[in-house]
Amino acid sequence: MNALIDYTIDRLSPHTGAEVRGIDLREPVDTATRKRLNDAFIEHSVLVVRDQKLSPAELLAAVRLFGEVFPQHNTKFALPECPLIHYISNQDKYPDGTRYIPGGGYHTDHSNAERPPKATVLHAVQLPDQGGDNQYFNLQAAYDDLSPKMKARIEGARAIHVYQSRYSERKLLALPDTAKVPDSVAHPLVRTHPENGRKGLYLNPIRTEGIVGMDDAEGLPLLDELLTHAVQRQYRYRHRWRPGDLVMWDNRCLLHKATADYDMSQMRYLYRVMLQGDVPA
Ligand SMILES: [Fe+2]
């Protein structure tokens, strides 16, 4: 049994990320520990649990400490032995034979769902010798720093999210015919976190096609301006992967991207699972 005294939680940057050491998620977790981990997740937005070695079934049990599992959209990546868990790999190809790097541009996961996943969890199975960091950008801190004029301008605005924005520079792999995703959904451009109450931008350049009630000539530059602001260095926590890392992040208040800066002949392979969220408000 994991007990409170056995582990530590330490901040990884001034605004985003905390590292948990001394816990084994294959073991049962008591109520106090579960609460402390959930509280740390809400406070720090990225939780890095070091030194895990979880099978898919053990990973699924571990993430249920934090919520209900969200069915991911592209079942092409589902593990046959545990379909709620997908894999992230640098070994897949587009139909034209070029390499597909999942998560290669700024985004938040599955925002085209009516109730997008509150969290995504990755567990490192195989990592390149160096590189392949995940970068996270804190959209609550970015919102706080907007001018009063910009805050007033975007208050109440809703952005249109689709599976694949026609404006996205990064192309996703096509969904299988059986996938069930909405044609489009509108989510607030500024959302209030249901658990910590903070306001943050809700952006996703891969899936966003515009702002409701604004023509593209106005809406697209506005989205670009907000994105340029949000991905500044001061809002970033850059996660350098170590073997055994389990990383869980809060999709409700972060943008993230994977960094394709490593030797692609080396395998980068992680398990991915998501947790159900609320309708953004
Ligand atoms: Fe992602």
Q: Which has the minimum average pLDDT: 45-49, 166-170, 196-200?
A: 166-170
More confident: 171 or 67: 67
Classify residue 91 as exposed, middle or buried by CB count within 10 Å of its CB (0-12, 13-18, 19+): exposed
Report the separation in Å between the CA atom of 160 and the middle of ligand 1, taken as the mean of its atom positions. Answer: 18
Report the separation in Å between the CA atom of 97 and the middle of ligand 1, taken as the mean of its atom positions. Answer: 22
Count of beta carbons in the 10 Å neighbourhood of residue 245: 20
Report the separation in Å between the CA atom of 252 and the middle of ligand 1, taken as the mean of its atom positions. Answer: 12
Amino acid at 176: P
Report the separation in Å between the CA atom of 144 and the middle of ligand 1, taken as the mean of its atom positions. Answer: 24
Q: What is the dihedral of CA 168, 267, 252, 211, to 10 degrees?
A: 0
- Percent of the chain scoring above 90 in pLDDT: 84
Give residue 172's pLDDT.
76
DSSP string, 236-275: EEEEPP-TT-EEEEETTSEEEEE---S-TTS--EEEEEEE
Report the separation in Å between the CA atom of 202 and the middle of ligand 1, taken as the mean of its atom positions. Answer: 14
Q: Which residues contact 196 (CB under 8 A, 6 or more apart)?
A: 42, 43
Residue 63 CA to residue 81 CA, distance in Å, equals 17
**Mean pLDDT, to the nearest integer, of 26-55?**
97
Closest CA to 119 of 193, 56, 190: 193
Report the separation in Å between the CA atom of 87 and the middle of ligand 1, taken as the mean of its atom positions. Answer: 12
Tokens of 84: 């709620």
Report the separation in Å between the CA atom of 257 and the middle of ligand 1, taken as the mean of its atom positions. Answer: 7
What confidence tier does 63 reach under pLDDT thresholds 50, 70, 90? very high
Report the separation in Å between the CA atom of 148 and the middle of ligand 1, taken as the mean of its atom positions. Answer: 30
Report the separation in Å between the CA atom of 103 and the middle of ligand 1, taken as the mean of its atom positions. Answer: 5
Look up the pTM and report it.
Answer: 0.94
Report the separation in Å between the CA atom of 32 and the middle of ligand 1, taken as the mean of its atom positions. Answer: 30
Give residue 74's pLDDT.
87
Q: Is residue 157 over pLDDT 60? A: yes
Report the separation in Å between the CA atom of 251 and the middle of ligand 1, taken as the mean of its atom positions. Answer: 9
Report the separation in Å between the CA atom of 131 and the middle of ligand 1, taken as the mean of its atom positions. Answer: 17
pLDDT in tens, 236-270: 999 999 999 999 999 999 999 999 999 999 999 99
Give residue 3's pLDDT.
56
Give residue 1's pLDDT.
67
Q: Which has the minimum average pLDDT: 117-126, 177-186, 247-256?
A: 177-186
Residue 62 CA to residue 46 CA, distance in Å, equals 16
Report the separation in Å between the CA atom of 30 and the middle of ligand 1, taken as the mean of its atom positions. Answer: 30
**Mean pLDDT, to the nearest integer, of 140-155?**
98
Give residue 271's pLDDT.
98
Report the separation in Å between the CA atom of 157 and the middle of ligand 1, taken as the mean of its atom positions. Answer: 24
In 12-149, the DSSP E strands lie at 18-21, 46-49, 69-70, 78-79, 82-89, 119-126, 134-138
Residue 134: strand, helix, or coil: strand
